[in-house]
Amino acid sequence: MNTYSRFPIALSHGEGMYVYDEDEKKYLDFLGGIAVNSLGHGHPVLTAEIARQSKELIHCSNLYWTKPMADIAEKIVNEGDMDRVFFCNSGAESIEAALKLSRKFGSETGRQEIITMRCSFHGRTFGAITATGQDHYHTGLGDMLPHIKYADFNDLESVRNAITKDTCAILLEPLQGEGGIHLATEEFLRGVRALCDENDIKLIFDEVQCGCGRLGTYFAYQTFGVVPDALCMAKGIAGGVPMGAMAATEDFARYFSPGDHASTFGGNPLATACANVVFDLLKGGILENVKKNGVYLSERLVELSKAHGCIKDVRGMGYMQGIEVDIPASSVVAEAMNRGLLLGGAGKNVVRFVPALICSKEHIDEAMEILGSALSAIEK
């Protein structure tokens, strides 16, 4: 389908932080499959686990228990404040699960309105795209899902004013990704949490991009110290194998009964075996790497901004950062790609850095050198 404008290269294989195209040209990968390949490419522990698990059982349906599914559910529950997990296959599906749970919760008290933020991104299915607070994603699609409305991110007054007697849930990304790398302030998150508590509203964090270790904590909310009632995960959760999850506290999760929601592939043994590998390796030292080197990456980006006037802002944290430029982000991405560095855009004027969580200081140095030379070439 005519849904993507792809770059004119075909990638064939990768190792660690590098990928190679069909002509064996080497690229340093600072896009990581758009924040998905958390362990880089061809990680030996992950590939061995894929081989092992595929010989045991790839899929068996949610009519039965499997050990990999129970294990990762237990790890997710033990890691933080959530009590139950629903497994699916993508970020959009994890959002749909949270939207449905919110409506189930609201229906007890005759409420169904859900508030989300402007500049957000929550996925492409009809519910998730409605929740996405950017008009251009809605163009030509007709009516959106009713009873969803938008408030301004990092503006507590705007959220307070949006709340009505019909509001049952608030959904937000603690660090907005596609919308341009906007970091929530702790004050804002704490304020929204208090508004939710005062009004019996459920707070949902979309951690699809910023969760699963990207900020240096397994859950993004642990970085801010504000606990939601539910959180959505996907992207990097299983190191590149498609998987999503929606976790919730018991007090929220209890509004689902058997039959209310389901997914054929969700929580299959292959994907959940991979999620166990990712979880264990993150806790085994990779999170520390992200914490330490995330600071280094932002220092290097600030340094770069002093040498290149086209960089107007450096934003984000951990391994989810961006630079705002006063030239098209796509020109920076294209020039860097020609020079062997894969980057992404986030909106028209933000270049995004979401490398694998195994990315080292040396990789950051290499990326900054290539990016610097690409910017110099553009500025000429």
CB of 36 to ligand PLP, least distance (A): 9
Q: Could you say whether residue 96 binds ligand PLP (CB under 6 A)?
A: no
Contacting residues for 45 by C-beta, under 8 A, at least 6 apart: 39, 277, 281
Among 92, 98, 171, 238, binds ligand PLP (CB under 6 A): 92
Cβ atoms of residues 202 and 230 within 8 Å: yes
| Residue 178 binds to ligand PLP (criterion: CB under 6 A) | yes
SS3 percent helix, strand, coil of the chain, rounded to 5, is 40, 20, 40
Identity of the residue numbered 237: I
Number of C-beta neighbours around residue 2 at 10 A: 4
Q: Which range, of 50-58, 96-104, 203-211, 254-262, touches ligand PLP by CB under 6 A?
A: 203-211
| Residue 206 sits in the site that holds ligand PLP (CB under 6 A) | yes
From the CB of residue 321, how many other CB atoms can be counted at a distance below 10 Å?
Answer: 24
Q: Which is nearer to ligand PLP, 49 or 178 (CB)?
A: 178
Asked if 305 is part of the footprint of ligand PLP (rule: CB under 6 A), the reply reads no
* 38 scored as a contact of ligand PLP (CB under 6 A): no
Q: Which range of residues in 98-106, 107-115, 171-179, 285-293 is near ligand PLP by CB under 6 A?
A: 171-179
CB of 43 to ligand PLP, least distance (A): 20
Please pick, from the candidates 172, 181, 192, 208, the single residue that binds ligand PLP as defined by CB under 6 A: 208
Which residues have a Cβ under 8 Å from the Cβ of 25 and sit 6 or more positions away? Answer: 9, 340
Nearer to ligand PLP, 132 or 167 (CB): 132
The residue of the chain with the least Cβ separation from ligand PLP equals 91
DSSP SS3 for 103 = helix
User: Which residue intervals of 186-248 are DSSP H helices?
Assistant: 186-199, 221-224
Q: Is 173 in the site for ligand PLP (CB under 6 A)?
A: yes
Binding mask 110-129 for ligand PLP (x = CB under 6 A): -----------xxx------
How many Å apart are CA 202 and CA 75, to the nearest integer?
23
Residue 135 to residues 96, 176, 178, Cα–Cα distance (Å) = 19, 16, 14
Q: Which is nearer to ligand PLP, 219 or 311 (CB)?
A: 219
Beta carbons within 8 Å of 363's beta carbon, 6+ residues apart: 17, 28, 355
| CB 31 to ligand PLP: min, Å | 13
Residue numbers of the site for ligand PLP (CB under 6 A)?
90-92, 95, 121-123, 173, 177-178, 206, 208-209, 234-235
